[in-house]
Structure 1
Amino acid sequence: MKNIFKIGTLFIATLIAVHSCKPDLNLVNPQELSTDTYYKTADQLEGAIIPAYEALIGRVQGGYARSFYYELLAPGDDFNHTFKWEPMYYDTYNTPSSDGLLSGTWKDMWNGVFASNLAISKISEFTGPIDPARKSRMLGEAYFLRGVFYLHLGMMFGETIPLIDKPVTSDADYYSSNSQKGQIYALITRDLAKAADLLPLRSALYANAAFKGRATKGSAQAYLAKAYLYRPILELGQPANFAGAEAELKKVIDSKEYQLVSAYKDNFSEATENNAESVFEVQMFNGPGWLGDDLSCSWRWQEIGMFDGTGGAWWNLAPNKKTYDEFETGDPRKFMTLWCDNGAKFTQIDGTVTDYAYWMSKLATNKDLYGTRKYCPDVQVSDFDNGINDRLIRYADVLLMYAECLNEKSDIAGAKQYINMVRSRANNVVPSEQPSLWYQHSPGTIPDVDGLLAQNITKNGVPLNNIKSIIAHERFVELAGEYLRYFDLLRWGMADAKWLEPLKTIGWTQRAMYYPFPQVELDNNKNLRGNAMNN
């Protein structure tokens, strides 16, 4: 799949860029390819989908290549900006509408929407020779990607973003006004439901190695479930659709297409991408040269991975002590998630083997913050960008969302069963780990749910004495650094305000629930009004 992203990406992206720029003159060059003259064969239709996948990475650094690990992690209570980036707005709830990364995110997500709309249109209207299963699969991918882009836009900017569901052809399309309440949520769930109907199972699609990493039926079902759970964020004032989410998650589980991998750390390395636990991940590729020639790489390990003073790390954003304290004694995931005391060592490119004492000796401040080992190599690479795929939905997430749905309907025994599957895996010995780490040869010691309830412990002020609190705790530690904590607190807080208290403590207000619309967009489009953060 990494190579598929490269093939034709620049060419197809150029078609989109040319077609989406409003011309000053009505001139047509019959020798020049355009979106109106190119998509004439089934093979060319395959190319229509690629720019949408690429937009998730971010061609203007507005996706998972760079912007998202700031914009999705920093607002939570689990990561803080360091002295290396002052000021950073994303964790202060005062991001200005002029912010550059935010503008890049807006552009890349709308590029993805445009590419998806174009693909849906061209594939739907295609009347040439094509295998019906192939056409359904391509159309399913396009609907899936549009749903995912709108999900991201809704999470970050709110439900008044424009609704554009067809290729841009007129002034009205270029200068769309705000959507009405409920429209964005309806589009997201409708698109993902269509995708789930159209896409093949993972085993069928991945039988062709060229399609490994593309969206599957399970990807669409899992994302549809997530949209149902995120409804309080995507459509303010409306409750989560737990019944709808439960039904979709059960389909994923019953498909037997996915399973937890034995070693937790295998979810975050380049050597084990698209494994049995991966439901959907962003396909990164680190080409030659600085930043990679194809712009499909990530800066994540350099910017939010290793401590400052180690291997030239930037260390702009870091897990805080709350994240460190949330892990239970004997939980190996702590040392696979964080660079911390008694944890793994990091080898610099000059061969220097560094440890916690070394890292602390290089720090004059922020000694209460940690490094992010998750997605970070143990040995420094020669360039700071890398091609480690970002796992957006893992089977562990599916199991914990399912447990949450079961708990909401008071199926306590069922909820415990699925939480225990995740907790049990956490205790596994990891033979591939560094030999100095104790869980390389001895199992973890965290108890099952009943054992945890019996301990009656409190983590960061939250007593783990009921299933909902245990689910919140388990999502915190299992999925730390995977872009979910802030949005978990938001969606729970819309039903029970106590979950908003950790955010309010660090300055969050209802007004700052979303990022502001970029000012450059409001300047260009007089039909569009900003959200509360623009006022």
Structure 2
Amino acid sequence: MKKIISKILVLSALVLMFSCKKSLLDQDNPNTLTVDQFWKTESDAQKGVNAAYAMFYQNGGWNRWIYFRLDLTSDEGWSNSPWTELGDWTRFQYINYNFWEGNVNTYRDTYKAIFRCNQVLTYVPEIPFADAKKKAEILAQAKFLRGFYYYYAAILWENFPIVTTIQTPTDLPAQSSLAQVWAQVEKDLTEASADLPEQWTGGEIGRATKGAAQALLGKALMQQHKWADAKTAFDYLVTGAGKNYYDLVDYKDNFRAENENNKESVFEIQFSDVNKSAEGDGPSANVGSNRAQFFAPRSIGWSDGQARFWLVNEFKKEKTTDNKIDPRLRYTLFYPGLEADFGDKTYGRSWEWGADEAWFKKYSRDYMRSNEDYFNQVNNRVIRFADVLLMYAEALNELGQTADAYQYVNRVRTRVNMAGLATAYPAIGNNKDLFRERLKVERSLELCGESVRWADLKRWGDLDNKANVDKVALRDPDFKNFVVGKHIRLPLPQVEVDNNTNLSQNPNY
């Protein structure tokens, strides 16, 4: 399960430099391979794509800061951090566009990950392989990862420069529109899907699969309201050739270090606590997650991010078929009534925080320890099958096939002993608008704290006009600061705009 990490570590330190014509003052560094010396063998190709996977462990991305952008900026989370500027970047008060932890670090690591993918896609085609299928799979993984990073660039900055070739220091990438970024995502994921295996085995488990490419492609198409195309992409996992690979499992198994890479997992980041060291590109660098350390309650972690309490109330609005509290609440949030409701303490302690406070529980290690650190080994299930089922239902509803959509929502609900949707909410019927509004709630209950809510709000148009934003602000007061037409996207780091005459700052910044 975690063996892929050991392979990634072998090459995560490789930062390849361009060579140029030799002179007495221009000699090869004996401790650093050049492009002329590397990219020669199948092993080099494998190491190159491993280095692209290794970007998951950098601070700007899935190791730490991206959760502030995707979870805390949405109406599910907020920050009461004593670090004022860090908190400001979750409440739409962007003063310094070059704020490292809020913008530049994530932008840089996204760009760096794309660069590593571009290296693979540039050099590997020229490497001879004994097995052409193996070469195709390496190239497909690089395309998937490039599409993955461009997907999140589209979600966060929108107008992110598209770079698909190896750059030189003097290159000035052109401005790209959101439509162009989405087109690149679609191209990369479509091409990746054609050559990715349906499943990996042994130590290769955790690499991108055909199902992962199809699911992410579907998510990208959903953001563009290409409902029919999105349904077609999801078909592979739900009704097509890949349906036997995916299913729902015990809900709690999606957020713990045990039972990882199970049938509900479509794509997950392989975290490990093997290295108790700093993040970086060295072979002994940290490959764990910092998320829980920054999201844990006070005195347990840094507590820079927490959940909005409206989520607790939403979970309690509807009981299970045997008149109990929705069991997903137990594994989703820490909140004052957790011990009374389920007999669980918060990291082994009775509640000692505010009466109206809640904290994210998913991916925490409260069930195995009493505190958090920077080396959390719980894999992040970036895409799981429940998300696919709910998006499939959403696409069907938007296509006017509401009656058919019910069954996919019901698969998610009945897994946790909730009544079928038609039984619980008969007034919805086949009304597309009512079904969509209920689906918004279903996604918050099932996927809270899983870094999908910001994309959801954008896709639903909930941030497109003041009336809709005002409704969101009833759940999350930070949205009183939200400026329509501006905060739908992050500003580009100002240093990038200043250094590149082909870039313009995002609208209204």
1:189-241 CA distances to partner (integer Å, 9 max, x unpaired)? Answer: 00000011111102xx22xx12100000000000000010112xxxxxxxx10
- In the superposition, relative to structure 1, how do residues 170 and 369 fare at CA in structure 2: closer, same or farther (>3 Å)? same
Q: 1:220 aligns with which of 210, 213, 221?
A: 213
1:358-404 CA distances to partner (integer Å, 9 max, x unpaired)? Answer: x23xx4xxx42212111111232676121111111000011001001
**Per-residue deviation, 1:495:** 9.9
Are 2:276 and 2:286, in contact at CA under 8 Å, matched by a contact in 1? Answer: no
Are 1:77 and 1:502, in contact at CA under 8 Å, matched by a contact in 2? Answer: no
Q: 1:289 aligns with which of 268, 272, 276?
A: 276
- In the superposition, relative to structure 1, how do residues 182 and 83 fare at CA in structure 2: closer, same or farther (>3 Å)? closer
Q: Which residue of 1 aligns with 2:419?
A: 447
CA distance in 2, matches of 1:495, 1:304: 25
Aligned pairs for 1:409-488 (under 5 A) are: 409-427=399-417, 446-454=418-426, 466-488=434-456
Q: Which residue of 1 aligns with 2:322?
A: none
CA distance in 1, matches of 2:349, 2:178: 53
Q: 2:360 aligns with which of 346, 354, 372?
A: 372
**Per-residue deviation, 1:105:** 0.5
Amino acid paired to 1:339? F
- What are structure 1's unaligned runs of at least 5 residues? 232-239, 428-445, 457-462
Q: 2:80 aligns with which of 79, 82, 95?
A: 82
Are 2:334 and 2:346, in contact at CA under 8 Å, matched by a contact in 1? Answer: no
**Per-residue deviation, 1:302:** 1.9
**Per-residue deviation, 1:28:** 4.1
- In the superposition, relative to structure 1, how do residues 213 and 242 fare at CA in structure 2: closer, same or farther (>3 Å)? same
Q: Which residue of 2 aligns with 1:165?
A: 164
Q: Which residue of 2 aligns with 1:273?
A: 260
- What are structure 2's unaligned runs of at least 5 residues? 320-324
CA RMSD after TM alignment: 2.7
Are 1:278 and 1:393, in contact at CA under 8 Å, matched by a contact in 2? Answer: yes
Query: 2:26 matched to 1:27?
Result: yes
Are 1:246 and 1:402, in contact at CA under 8 Å, matched by a contact in 2? Answer: yes
CA distance in 2, matches of 1:227, 1:499: 23
CA distance in 1, matches of 2:305, 2:24: 47
**Per-residue deviation, 1:10:** 6.2
- In the superposition, relative to structure 1, how do residues 48 and 344 fare at CA in structure 2: closer, same or farther (>3 Å)? farther
1:288-344 CA distances to partner (integer Å, 9 max, x unpaired)? Answer: 435574222111112113x213xx322211111211122133311011101121245
- In the superposition, relative to structure 1, how do residues 453 and 48 fare at CA in structure 2: closer, same or farther (>3 Å)? same
- In the superposition, relative to structure 1, how do residues 129 and 490 fare at CA in structure 2: closer, same or farther (>3 Å)? closer
Are 1:453 and 1:466, in contact at CA under 8 Å, matched by a contact in 2? Answer: no
CA distance in 2, matches of 1:316, 1:525: 33
Aligned pairs for 1:153-232 (under 5 A) are: 153-159=153-159, 161-169=160-168, 171-172=170-171, 175-180=172-177, 182-202=179-199, 205-206=200-201, 209-231=202-224
Q: Which residue of 2 aligns with 1:459?
A: none
Are 1:493 and 1:500, in contact at CA under 8 Å, matched by a contact in 2? Answer: no
Normalization by structure 1: what TM-score? 0.83
Query: 2:509 matched to 1:514?
Result: no
CA distance in 2, matches of 1:24, 1:523: 33
Amino acid paired to 2:138? M
CA distance in 1, matches of 2:19, 2:447: 38
1:131-174 CA distances to partner (integer Å, 9 max, x unpaired)? Answer: 11111111110110000111111111112x211001124622xx
Q: Which residue of 2 aligns with 1:119?
A: 120
Q: Which residue of 2 aligns with 1:334?
A: 329
CA distance in 2, matches of 1:25, 1:474: 66
CA distance in 2, matches of 1:25, 1:450: 78
- In the superposition, relative to structure 1, how do residues 496 and 180 fare at CA in structure 2: closer, same or farther (>3 Å)? closer
CA distance in 2, matches of 1:495, 1:70: 18
- In the superposition, relative to structure 1, how do residues 387 and 468 fare at CA in structure 2: closer, same or farther (>3 Å)? same
**Per-residue deviation, 1:30:** 8.2
Query: 2:85 matched to 1:97?
Result: no
1:475-513 CA distances to partner (integer Å, 9 max, x unpaired)? Answer: 111000011112111111079856544445522222111
Aligned pairs for 1:350-389 (under 5 A) are: 353-356=348-351, 359-360=352-353, 363=354, 367-378=355-366, 379-380=368-369, 384-385=373-374, 386-389=376-379
1:113-136 CA distances to partner (integer Å, 9 max, x unpaired)? Answer: 00001111122232x133111111
Normalization by structure 2: what TM-score? 0.87
Q: Secondary structure at the match of 1:280?
A: strand
